[in-house]
Amino acid sequence: MGFWKKYFKKNKSPYLNNIKNIKIVQDIVGYTFRNPSLLILALTHRSFNRTQDNNHPSNERLEYLGDSVLGLVIADRLYHDYPEFREGRLTQLKAMLVNETTLAEIGKQVELNKYILLSPEEEKLGGRDRNSIISDAFESIIGAVYLDGGFRSASDIILRLIYTQKESIITDDSQKNYKGELLELTQARGEGLPHYEVDSEFGPDHAKEFHISVYIANRKIGTGFGYSKKEAEQKAAAIALEELSKED
């Protein structure tokens, strides 16, 4: 417990302010860290570094690592569980299980979002409930577990928290791939590939809002906005589908 005593003397957070709360996070994940500093790093959003009383790095590097581990574990399990599925169907299922919406919803279910370290400004902006922040923290924890306990430990967490919910995830309407549907429609109509362009970006780096338009044959069809480019593109594609259905 020596690490935590030193940590809490230097850092104050309304959510990670005692050893009990640290144990809660480890219980949520189902893993006890050998190197507990990795858990703190995994929970540290980049906005937290802007507070004056700390100099922590953020979880962005761990997110990159966790994303890769997550993709491999899910791809491997789908490959072995569905030998009859072709590559396209496997890719579709994998996308549903590892995307931002899925990770954020599971993060909220287990209340992981309560323990993410945010700046006061990000807290006021509603960052604790923002899908992109929660999913990034989820992936960062996977990366941290991988570094701390190896591939098997990370795989166990992914299968228990995500893959066990596979059936409900893939039948969830919010998992609709509007970009994929739009691509299929434009190809069927002989109009080529949809093209997405960022119209504008607003806000600080840790809380950007993106406005993105989708073009088909050089014609703007829909515009969407979101707190990540993926979210904005999906919304733009959904609007484009509505517009094209009206034309038909």
Which residues does the annotation mark as catalytic? 67, 139
> Residue 223 — φ and ψ, nearest 5°?
-130, 135
- Check if the beta carbon of residue 4 is closer than 8 Å to that of residue 22: yes
DSSP string of 15-42?
SS-SHHHHHHHHHHHT---SSTHHHHHH
State in Å, rounded, how far the first CA of the chain is from the last one. Answer: 66
Question: Which residue stretches of the chain are H helix?
Answer: 2-10, 19-29, 37-42, 60-81, 87-98, 100-109, 120-124, 131-149, 151-161, 166-170, 178-188, 229-247
Q: From CA 143, how far away is CA 160, in angstroms rounded?
A: 16
Q: How far apart are CA 90 and CA 69, in angstroms?
A: 17
**Pairing state between β 219-226 and 209-216:** antiparallel
